[in-house]
Amino acid sequence: MLAKRIIPCLDVRDGQVVKGVQFRNHEIIGDIVPLAKRYAEEGADELVFYDITASSDGRVVDKSWVSRVAEVIDIPFCVAGGIKSLEDAAKILSFGADKISINSPALADPTLITRLAERFGVQCIVVGIDTWYDAETGKYHVNQYTGDESRTRVTQWETLDWVQEVQKRGAGEIVLNMMNQDGVRNGYDLEQLKKVREVCHVPLIASGGAGTMEHFLEAFRDADVDGALAASVFHKQIINIGELKTYLATQGMEIRIC
């Protein structure tokens, strides 16, 4: 059994790490490189960086900090933000990122997934999916351009259909960003994760809702996700990564203990 992964998420805007609630009202958390170094030292298995306004601004992720992060951490990290071409991806990978993640650009041009996978290998191509539960219809819908409130829109894709589509096109991993739960720390949407797990045959990362150590355990044990991504509980030091991993190990989870 592969070890379950604990993944801090760093949303980046204007050169700093920020955090919002349900993708809104972002507050400044701190500088990118010191936070990345801290999480690596605490025992994170990998890091994910989202330049949250890159796609909505029509630009690629700011590459200046990518190489600085690569210099100070020795764990894998993934970078996302406005990657629309093979050239964009090649530059970010050359600066030291281990994986690149695409979200809105994949919705705009699904062939991008295949082209990236063929060029760089499926192992470093992650597709992020921003999913919103519509209580009126009882369905999960994929959203696009979520980094900018004024441009966020609901796409024609239902989440389960898009999960299957991106796998067909070569996604090597999926990060499911559950927007309803984002930043509120009431737990991951286990019902949605279980439904996605049934149709997801590549590594699945849960994102949105972690508030306690038990929430991580539930995602791993009950929804069988491969990794759990979280932001505010780590940024605000509500949960220490090393203590979390010790707890999960005592609960029978396969975890890499530092």
For the chain, the average pLDDT equals 91
239 assigned to some structural domain: yes
Domain membership of residue 246 (yes or no) is yes
pLDDT mean over 237-244? 97
pLDDT greater than 80 at residue 136: yes
User: In which domain, by residue range, is 18 found?
Assistant: 5-250
> What amino acid positions are annotated as catalytic residues?
11, 130
Smallest Cα–Cα separation from 162: which of 134, 139, 191, 190?
139
Residue 240 lies in a domain: yes
Q: Looking at the domain assignment, is residue 35 inside a domain? A: yes
Q: Sign (positive/negative) of CA torsion 120, 122, 124, 125? A: positive
With respect to residue 105, please indicate whether it lies within any of the assigned structural domains.
Answer: yes
Mean pLDDT, rounded, for 84-98: 95
Residue 93: the pLDDT is: 96
Structural domain tally of the chain?
A: 1
Is position 256 within any domain? no
- Greatest mean pLDDT among 60-69, 143-152, 235-244 lies in 235-244
d(CA 75, CA 256): 12
| Cross-strand partners of 31 | 16
Q: Is the pTM of this model over 0.95?
A: no
The reply to whether 257 falls in a domain is no
Distances in Å between the Cα of 196 and the Cα atoms of 169, 200, 210, 224, 244 are 17, 6, 18, 10, 25
The pLDDT of residue 53:
78
Per mean pLDDT, which range of 9-18, 157-166, 212-221 is the poorest?
9-18
Whether 195 is covered by a domain: the verdict is yes
